[in-house]
Amino acid sequence: MRLTRRTLGPFVGAVAKKLEHYSQFQPSSLTIQQYLDFGRIGTAATSYTFLKNELMVRLANIMQEFSLLPPKLLQMPSSKMVSNWYCESFEDLLKYENAGASTENINAFNEQLQSILKRHAHVVETMAEGLIELRETDGVDIASEKGNCWDLALTFWLCLKYWFLCDRYYLTSPSMKLEMHNAVDKGRPISIVAVPSHLYHIMFELLKNAMRATVEHHGVDDDLPDIKVFVVRGNADLSIKICDRGGGVSRTILERLFNYMYSTAPPPPRDGTQAPLAGYGYGLPLSRLYARYFLGDLFLVSMEGYGTDACIYMKAVPVEASEVLPIYSTSSRRNLTMGPQVADWSHHVPGQGFRPG
């Protein structure tokens, strides 16, 4: 599928042709086991040769998706900022397209990747700001645009940050009870190979939601019930269940919680003075996207008036944890631009359809 004028707009001449060229290739889907194997036996030169091409393919594909967003959204300042970040990163990588795998080039490429990583550190938050700007412009309702829209234990020490946030907002926080069961190596600590940033976002979002619901349902002056977390390592899956007594939600609301830009909290402050505890509306859908990226899943079971259970499944065997990458074609354009809003690309993962959420 050819790129549109909106995608090629920031580019001219040869760069625009390169973007269109790389957008015609499909990203390579890798398993966690392949990452591990390469880390043991791969060389810096091999990594450089693969990444300098693969990253341009992935950037070109995501920019192709970006061009399918609603035109009004693409005009928002924050959306333009994100678009410019991707354009700048693509041009940065293009400098190495024909550069050999010399030590000097490899070192420069590594430094360039670190710069790109910092540049894209706040893409999610900035894109959410763009949606908020759209909603505030002439009273635009995000729902009216949906016809064109897209739709561990080793990290539990980070819970200190969740509790700090909760104490900062509410001056109180519930306790957490953690139970861990290793059904494969009984009596031994649970370990799993995963992407730390993905796992951090998932756990942060779910624990944050559980704490907020518990405090707001019971009040800051009451004895707060514990949040219970169960971690189980099986032969095929690592399963995590987070149980709260935060009052739960109705089935009607539950069906909407995984919609992008839907939030039960008020919009966050936009003065930049503090990190929001809730309100952007991308936390849960993005968490599920991260869970499904390596063939896992995330879903909620809620009892209105009592509480909610959040269940996360992750592949425990690295060779089975294969990337699920969006592939853009004529059908993807049709899904994003015609008819009612459809599920995101992770919805089509084999074996995912039987779970609620």
What residues are annotated to the active site?
Answer: 201, 205, 208-209
Per DSSP, the three-state class of 239 is strand
Closest CA to 326 of 314, 342, 338: 342
Residue 355 gets the label, from left (phi > 0), alpha (psi -120 to 50) or beta, of beta
Match 């990594």 to its residue by tokens.
Answer: 47
Match 């999610």 to its residue by tokens.
Answer: 124
Per DSSP, the three-state class of 233 is strand
Residue 72 gets the label, from left (phi > 0), alpha (psi -120 to 50) or beta, of alpha
Q: How many residues does the chain have?
A: 357
CB contact at 8 A, 59 and 86: yes
On the CB side of 184, CA atoms within 13 Å amount to 15
13 burial class (0-12, 13-18, 19+ CB within 10 angstroms)? exposed
> Amino acid letter at 45?
A
How far lies 151's CA from each of 16, 191, 324, in Å?
27, 32, 16
Report H helices in the chain: 5-8, 13-23, 32-41, 44-66, 71-74, 77-94, 103-119, 123-136, 159-170, 196-218, 251-254, 283-293, 330-337
Q: What is the CA radius of gyration of the chain?
A: 22
CB contact at 8 A, 203 and 277: no
